[in-house]
Structure 1
Amino acid sequence: MNDNELQKLVEEVSLQFFHSEFKHTAYFNPRLRTTGGRYMLRTGNIEINKKYFDYHGKTELINIIKHELCHYHLHQLGKGYKHKDRDFKMLAKAVGAPRFCTPIPNETKQQNKPFHIYQCVTCSQTYKRQRRINTSRFVCGKCRGKLILVKS
């Protein structure tokens, strides 16, 4: 699917579920990482994450489009378009737009980052940190003893 096909699909979904035209541009944004799509307030355009279409298919793409069109149409009408607004919640429920998109399994896994383990010389309290710390500057929070690097 390319940007032109996406534009046609967004226009069809808008007419079918919202009974109103979509007069702006919809396109795939390859830089989106953690979200399925976003509605741009300043321009009125909708950006979609193509990875969700590639992984989950057209039904998930339509759900993302419905969610973003809720933002779009409410903003165009001057009503509450934010997730917390009553208007948004009611419209999303009426058209069957999900609040969150289905996650992509390999995207949600936390990377195995190396940990640095420090231990207090006095009380043996251990600290697990992702970043290295300066042991001459920082001390144990429990007894104010000296810290040493046990495992990097």
Structure 2
Amino acid sequence: KAREFVGDFLGNVAVFDTGGRGATTTFIERGIGDVLITFEAEVENIRAEYGEDEYERVVPSMSLLAEFPVAVVDKVAQERGTEEISKAYLEFLYTKQGQEIVASFNNRVHNPEVKAEYADKFPDVKLITVEDVFGGWEAANETHFADGGVLDQIQSGR
């Protein structure tokens, strides 16, 4: 039933963009599609730029926690001589000030004080993780997104 539902759902997709920004461009600037499904921050940025009354925000009761991966690539930072500043930036992101900046761009944060300060911007949503539900990113990618995986099977009607 899940595959059938997703197949029917994807059958209505006018353009299957590779990411949130591309989907936004297709929907907002090119006017293609009736509904945009994208990241929470992207929705709020659209509403801030184009007006809250222009686009209805629909918030699901449950969603996948999709956080930005952040890392210092030691080899690259060492080659460029930016290891110290790169690590400082990474550490800064998780300070209260860094989390305030992240939240000001409509991204959920973990710092309890900042989270409370911006609580009115973020509706209550039960957030699940890939690790808890799908066994981790490696398993999810292999099962769902690899060549011949579930997504390919659904899109090809198999």
| TM-score, reference length from structure 2 | 0.24
User: Larger relative contact order (C-alpha < 8 A, sep ≥ 6)?
Assistant: 2
Bigger strand share: 1
| TM-score, reference length from structure 1 | 0.24
Larger radius of gyration: 1
Bigger helix share: 2
